[in-house]
Structure 1
Amino acid sequence: AVTAGVNPVALNLGIRKAARMLADEVESLATPISSIEDLRNVATIASGSVEMGRIIATAFDKVGETGSTVVEESQTLVDEVEFTEGLTIDRGFVSPYLVKDQERQIAEMSNPRVLCTDAKIDNVNELIPLLEQMVKSKEPLLIIAEDVTGEALSALVVNKMRGVLDVVAIKAPGFGDRRKEYLQDIAIATGSTMVAEEVGITLDSVTMDMLGTADRVVVAKELTTIVTDGKQEDAVAQRIAQIRRGAETAETQFDKDKADERVAALGGGIARIKVGAATETELKDKKLRYEDALNSVKSAQEMGIVPGGGACLAYLQKASEEKILAAMDSEDEKQGAMIILRSLSAPVKQIANNAGIEGAVVLAKVQNKNEFGWGWDAGKMVYGDLMKAGVIDPAKVTINALENSASVAGLVLTTECLVTEIPVVKTERMVQDDFRLKMKRRGNVM
């Protein structure tokens, strides 16, 4: 078109306008995720594996929308899912003498009271009023503080070893201002009053009604898990909403990631997908497929789902053409819009060609039906309702594909050049040298 005298700037503008209008159409046609089956279908399509789809759906179903799902490598041959309930704190006990189970090095408490403070506790006199109340109540006590040292720690250890008081102390997670945020999260989740001098509450003035509660607490050497009793659900929901609002205005990706971690900890725990494989190559491949599928599921939760297999775009090619062309301000812009409209048939044709079927024939049949959601299922080699068949794509992925392709096309049009890597064609000798180097790194010198 450019060589025929069309203005490349107007052509680019037409492409971008059409892409934006199509993205809006996709968003309006998207269906919200309504069941775990929808999640499983999205994950299965994205990963290319029914088993991976099942594992991801299980993980998301367990932790819910506020939980977090991560992918980790394991040394086994099979894929597994591990769930961590409640608040997980990457801090352990301040002294091994506070642990009853010396063999396992784990302290477990049922229905403990929880003290949250940003103070560094080293003076036992500050703790005596609270400890006397705890001895009378005979309830376990979890202390979360900046640190517990000196005579205060000695007093806790002595009382623990004598059986006078069941107490465990841990350091607060995080550093600086972030530590205060984490402490406030824990205080809200357990129903504790935050003990801090800046709010006018000192340790020696703490009463029983300022302590929080939990269903169960497990403290290990480097990790603490607090399973809350569910009494603070409304307060936790408000806190999660507050954290998410803060994440939207966060300046760095690090701050956003930390906000996501806090939401996951408060909301529903963490699911860890442990990926196993027989070889390192297989392990890396499976991990990437899991991560890709996880991102697809998150996108589907965010913006909903549309029919897969290219059917959504094929439908929009005919349904939106007249509306999109009418919105263009010039003939050159219409030329740009037609470029992106013609490209919408490519996914259906390519999927069919990959399956050994004539793409143009499949496209014609899908578009002649002119029914949203109706398309060709390449897995079963049949036509039908793709939504019912579980052949679905996240709407966000489809929108991103439209916008990103339009952006790249416009860049090429207006710059007239591309910077790419020159592909390296490896000789047999180069392949052998790479293999020897890999074996040497593993310790198997050849």
Structure 2
Amino acid sequence: MNLKQAGSGAEVDERLAALLTNANAVRAITAAVEGTIGPKGLDTMLVDRFGEVIITNDGVTILDKMDVNHPAAKMLINIAKAQQAEVGDGTTTATIMAGGLVAEGVNQVLRGVPVARVIEGVRYGVARAIEEIKRRGRKVTDLNDPVLRNIAMIAGREHADIADLVVAAARLIGAEKLCEPNFKLSDIITAEEGAENEVFMGVIVDKERMNKEMPEELTDVKVLVIDDALEPEEIGDEALSTESGFKRYIELQDEFKRNVRKIVELGVRLVLVDRGVHDDADEILTDAGVMVIQRVPAKDLRRAAEHTGARMMKRTGLKKDLADIEKYLGYAERVYEDEKLEHVRILGGQGKPMATILVGAATEEVVGERERIAKDAASSVQAAIKGGYVPGGGACEIAIARAVEKAREEIKGMAAYGVDCVTNALKRPLAQIVENAGFNPLEKVEEVIAAQAAKGSDSLGIDCDTGEVADMLERGVVDPVPVKLHAIKAAGEVAVAILRIDTIIKKKEEGAAAGKTAASSDAAGMPDF
């Protein structure tokens, strides 16, 4: 090799340094979750510096809890979080496909394909893939369709008890509510150690009554929700040191007691408070047989208000006339404390119908994982009701890959190599699923491609027990359309973003941090950049 050639090679290596560094970071993140996908996927143990352990195969949990510093790796993790926030499932699939797109894109660039052409092809291929998924979706027209339980089973990692709970809740709530943009079925799930699996109309407040002298159970209950502290207005220490200030303090204390007695006069039996409750209020309300729950979590406070039809008020609202305060009250048929589970249930509210899914767990260690599993199942069931479903197990992705491969002929020039990236990335989920099941991924992917082409079916995949080609729809292996759509879209977006990065430059520090950095740099003899 002459000097000119050597210099040229060095320039190429330097030009691709950022791309290769980012690709390696993405590969490391993908490797962390790919072993969890599919029915034979295994768990990951996450351990912190205090020895706390989480055992899970939930992709977004693994990614969220990983100690990651590389910016490209963080981009991939953020895509997984966005997938979770949008549809609640499919994070592992999105991560694997994004990793596949980046890896394939780098391979094409190393072959000499310009990055701009690769990106052009990737965008075209992803757009075609999205069109194909929408075209192949099957609608859910009946909440009693057995396909919903199949979806819950797949997303719920074969936990039949959780799948049954989720489907029962979906039927209880109804399709109209499930299709509302701001309603998330996963939000009504709570898991508790020692609880029995249960679905009921009502809400749980994850707190106990303020003291044991208050009633444990109530019926025909007027409810007051205070989004504030139930305490007198405060006076500064300087004001208290004056005679007028102390007089004002006494007046506020008396006014506060009068306002609390209004609650009793209105016949309120349950008071939910966002923050603390003053001792005077505690005494007055306990003597009147009112159940008070203080420091209620914001989510529980909101759900309780919606279910009972109560309007949240501030403590200053108690200064109003009785007739005005009455307008803020809600109603529930029954309220009681479950002492074993240390929470309060509010049932039969006159506001919005609210269902709760209570998932039981045998030990404290599995509570979090059982809740994550139930939330995945609930999110998938709701997504299928909203947007339909397609064959799962990687079968649909193979069918789409075949369609994208045919569309490659429609694009001219070197952008076709970018389309190849999408085709190969779409094969990754099935390849990883069968590899986790102990089979040769190359062999099984080709078997599925050939079988789908021969039979004209998009539902043929691999039975992970036998390794034989099987119809995923007949086996009940299905995935929601919105999960697939968002996974492919998210994978395409992060892959393009990473492929577009040509240079990595460390930002200068600003403010006080900059002075410390400069001082340490001078001390170490580091050059400025």
TM-score range, shorter chain: 0.5 to 0.7
Q: Which of 388, 397, 418 is the matching residue for 1:336? A: 418
Q: Distance in 1 between matches of 2:392 and 2:165?
A: 23
Shift of 1:288: 5.3
Name the aligned partner's letter for residue 402 of structure 2.
K
Q: Distance in 1 between matches of 2:452 and 2:423?
A: 16
Mark the runs of 5 or more structure 2 residues left unpaired by the alignment.
Answer: 1-107, 171-177, 179-183, 233-252, 505-529
Match status 1:60 vs 2:158: no
Q: Provide the residue aligned with 2:294 in structure 1.
A: 171
Q: Does the C-alpha gap of structure 1 residues 170 and 318 become closer, same or farther in structure 2, counting only changes over 3 Å?
A: closer
Q: Does the C-alpha gap of structure 1 residues 201 and 401 become closer, same or farther in structure 2, counting only changes over 3 Å?
A: same
Q: Distance in 1 between matches of 2:311 and 2:502?
A: 63
Q: Provide the residue aligned with 1:109 in structure 2.
A: 218
Could you give the per-residue CA deviations for residues 362-397 of structure 1, whole angstroms, max 9, x where no partner exists? 421222212333455444666564324302133344
Shift of 1:109: 0.5
Q: Does the C-alpha gap of structure 1 residues 227 and 19 become closer, same or farther in structure 2, counting only changes over 3 Å?
A: same
Instruction: Within 5 Å, give how 1:5-16 maps onto structure 2.
Output: 5-16=112-123
Q: Does the C-alpha gap of structure 1 residues 377 and 297 become closer, same or farther in structure 2, counting only changes over 3 Å?
A: farther
Q: Provide the residue aligned with 2:126 in structure 1.
A: 19
Name the aligned partner's letter for residue 143 of structure 1.
V
Q: Distance in 1 between matches of 2:336 and 2:163?
A: 28
Match status 1:295 vs 2:376: yes
Shift of 1:214: 0.7
Could you give the per-residue CA deviations for residues 255-310 of structure 1, whole angstroms, max 9, x where no partner exists? xxxxxxxxxxxx32242241569xx8xx69xx758736743651453244211233
Name the aligned partner's letter for residue 359 of structure 2.
R
* Residues 223 and 332 in structure 2, CA contact (< 8 A), matched pair in contact too: yes
Q: Which of 222, 225, 232 is the matching residue for 2:351? A: 232
SS at match of 2:208: coil
Q: Provide the residue aligned with 2:453 in structure 1.
A: 367
Q: Distance in 2 between matches of 1:388 and 1:213?
A: 48
Match status 1:154 vs 2:274: no
Could you give the per-residue CA deviations for residues 2-59 of structure 1, whole angstroms, max 9, x where no partner exists? 455421221133123312331342134233455463343234335653xx1x122122
SS at match of 1:154: helix
Q: Provide the residue aligned with 2:332 in structure 1.
A: 214
Say what the alpha-carbon RMSD is for the aligned residues. 4.4
Shift of 1:407: 6.0
Could you give the per-residue CA deviations for residues 130-185 of structure 1, whole angstroms, max 9, x where no partner exists? 64564xxxxx7223356554555434444x4xxxxx432333625xxx6xx97665
Mark the runs of 5 or more structure 1 residues left unpaired by the alignment.
Answer: 100-106, 135-139, 161-165, 237-266, 419-446
Q: Provide the residue aligned with 2:270 in structure 1.
A: 142
Q: Does the C-alpha gap of structure 1 residues 218 and 300 become closer, same or farther in structure 2, counting only changes over 3 Å?
A: closer
* Residues 309 and 375 in structure 1, CA contact (< 8 A), matched pair in contact too: yes
Q: Distance in 2 between matches of 1:168 and 1:212?
A: 14
* Residues 309 and 378 in structure 1, CA contact (< 8 A), matched pair in contact too: no
Q: Provide the residue aligned with 1:163 in structure 2.
A: none
* Residues 377 and 383 in structure 1, CA contact (< 8 A), matched pair in contact too: yes
* Residues 317 and 325 in structure 2, CA contact (< 8 A), matched pair in contact too: no
* Residues 188 and 355 in structure 2, CA contact (< 8 A), matched pair in contact too: no
Q: Does the C-alpha gap of structure 1 residues 417 and 405 become closer, same or farther in structure 2, counting only changes over 3 Å?
A: farther
* Residues 155 and 380 in structure 2, CA contact (< 8 A), matched pair in contact too: no
TM-score w.r.t. the length of structure 2 is 0.53
SS at match of 1:173: coil
Q: Distance in 2 between matches of 1:200 and 1:155?
A: 15
SS at match of 1:371: coil
SS at match of 1:16: helix
Q: Distance in 1 between matches of 2:356 and 2:363?
A: 23
Name the aligned partner's letter for residue 224 of structure 1.
V
Q: Distance in 2 between matches of 1:401 and 1:184?
A: 31
Shift of 1:111: 1.2
Name the aligned partner's letter for residue 295 of structure 1.
D
Could you give the per-residue CA deviations for residues 338-373 of structure 1, whole angstroms, max 9, x where no partner exists? 232245455556666756585234421222212333
Q: Provide the residue aligned with 1:45 in structure 2.
A: 154
Instruction: Within 5 Å, give how 1:93-104 maps onto structure 2.
Output: 93-99=209-215
* Residues 305 and 392 in structure 1, CA contact (< 8 A), matched pair in contact too: yes
Shift of 1:129: 5.7
Q: Provide the residue aligned with 1:425 in structure 2.
A: none
TM-score w.r.t. the length of structure 1 is 0.61
Q: Distance in 2 between matches of 1:111 and 1:270?
A: 24
Deviates more, 1:17-26 or 1:376-385: 376-385
Q: Distance in 1 between matches of 2:290 and 2:406?
A: 73
Q: Distance in 2 between matches of 1:80 and 1:130?
A: 35
Q: Distance in 1 between matches of 2:502 and 2:313?
A: 64
Match status 1:81 vs 2:209: no
